[in-house]
Amino acid sequence: MTTDSRRRALIDTDPGIDDALALLLAWGSPEWTVDVVTVVAGNVPLEAGTRNVFRLIDLRRPLPPPLVAAGAARPLARPLKIAPYHGVDGLGDLPDWPPVEPRPVPVDAPRVIVDAARRHERGLTIVALGPLTNLALAVEADAAAIRGAGRVVAMGGAVDVPGNVTPDAEFNAHVDPEALARVLDAGVRLDLVPLDATRQAILEPAALNAALARAPRPFADRVRRIVEYALRIDLAHGKRGMDLHDPLAVGVALDPTLVEWEPVRLAIGPDGQTRRAAGEPNCRFARVVDSPRFLRMFLERLCPAS
Ligand code: RIB
Ligand code: CA
């Protein structure tokens, strides 16, 4: 049981450009301490994702620095599918990153997740930003501990809207549908942040540039170049900006009033479809977003004080 009254956050991630922005938001939020970052294969293979976490820690210098644990290198029951949207290296393929020495702890992510849940119980918020492989393995190890966490928030799924990796499946759910099903079947009170909500949280170039103008120059330039990689793709497809999928999951983990929630029973399809089904709700999903209020929070907290 945690003795410190501050909220503790554990973020499971597959960084990923939007994951990077989500981590920056989390590290810029005073309501909690991000004690742990666990890594899962998704947007990029596990080793690249782990390296990216250490790149982002080196860039942002959060205090205290989080414990980092590497987790699953592949989904529970199928080959890994990665996402080209983030570049080969997962952070926009910038050629000039300062070298980092990734030092994950010698304990795998599912064990670290279980240990954090046992220690902090209701004081812990778990935020999953990638495929739920690590979380499913943690549930397999100690479902009661994960059910005992204060909140479990996951970016994933597409309930009443089209998917983004197939016509009816969202990427995180598509990469590891078995993991999502296992978490839901274990009775974890999941707060799901699907594409229904995240497509309402759009980062436009002018808003990003205004926020970065207030930040230390080296930090601002690096973040701008990371985001530009994804923004170029989105703008080329006629969108007005980049969907802040993972940052919204962090946002609603910090402040659940940013969205309207709907309890729902979801059935998980073979390709990661997440559609309404009859029966008792097995989660609640974010349906309507107070986008201006979320974007204000995101842009105010994205950068360290100058
Ligand atoms: O579908 C969006 C999700 O897939 C985000 O978590 C993004 O990082 C990718 O992992
Ligand atoms: Ca992600």
Which tens digit of pLDDT belongs to each residue from 125-150? Answer: 999 999 999 999 999 999 999 999 99
Average pLDDT over residues 216-241: 96
What spacing in Å lies between the alpha carbon of 2 and ligand 1's midpoint? Answer: 31
Q: What is the pLDDT of residue 6?
A: 77
Question: Domain with 260 in it: what CATH number?
Answer: 3.90.245.10
Average pLDDT over residues 269-290: 98
Residues with CB under 6 A from ligand 1: 14, 16, 18-19, 42-43, 83, 129-130, 155, 164, 170-172, 245-246
| Position 3 pLDDT exceeds 80 | no
Provide the token pair at 135. Answer: 């979380």
pLDDT confidence band for 83 (50 / 70 / 90): confident
| Position 254 pLDDT exceeds 80 | yes
Longest alpha-carbon distance in the chain: 53
Domain membership of residue 278 (yes or no) is yes
CB 274 within 8 A of CB 179: no
For 56-72, how does the pLDDT look when each residue is reduced to its tens digit (9 = 90+)? 999 999 999 999 999 99
Pocket test for ligand 1, best of 21, 39, 129, 161 (most atoms within 8 A of CB): 129
Q: What is the pLDDT of residue 1?
A: 47
- Match 């802040």 to its residue by tokens: 244
What total number of domains does the chain contain? 1
Neighbours of 18 (CB within 10 A): 27
User: How far apart are the two ends of the chain, measured CA to CA in Å?
Assistant: 36
Domain membership of residue 242 (yes or no) is yes
What spacing in Å lies between the alpha carbon of 75 and ligand 1's midpoint? Answer: 15
What spacing in Å lies between the alpha carbon of 147 and ligand 1's midpoint? Answer: 24
Domain membership of residue 1 (yes or no) is no
CB 227 within 8 A of CB 234: no
Ranges of beta strands (E only) in 205-250 are 242-243
> Which atom belonging to ligand 1 lies closest to the Cα atom of 86?
8
Domain membership of residue 165 (yes or no) is yes
Of the listed ligands, the closest to the CA of 198 is 1
Residue range of the domain that includes 77:
7-301
Domain membership of residue 22 (yes or no) is yes
Domain membership of residue 190 (yes or no) is yes
Amino acid letter, 156: G
Q: What is the pLDDT of residue 304?
A: 87
Domain membership of residue 269 (yes or no) is yes
pLDDT confidence band for 18 (50 / 70 / 90): very high
Pocket test for ligand 1, best of 171, 180, 200 (most atoms within 8 A of CB): 171
pLDDT confidence band for 214 (50 / 70 / 90): very high
Domain membership of residue 233 (yes or no) is yes
Q: What percentage of the chain exceeds 90 in pLDDT?
A: 95
| Position 88 pLDDT exceeds 60 | yes
Query: Any residues with CB less than 8 A from the CB of 119 and at least 6 apart, and which?
Result: 1, 2
The closest of 47, 55, 36, 63 to 14, measured between CA atoms, is 47
| Position 33 pLDDT exceeds 70 | yes
What spacing in Å lies between the alpha carbon of 131 and ligand 2's midpoint? Answer: 8
Active site residue 245: yes
For 40-59, how does the pLDDT look when each residue is reduced to its tens digit (9 = 90+)? 999 999 999 999 999 999 99
Strands 67-70 and 202-203: unpaired
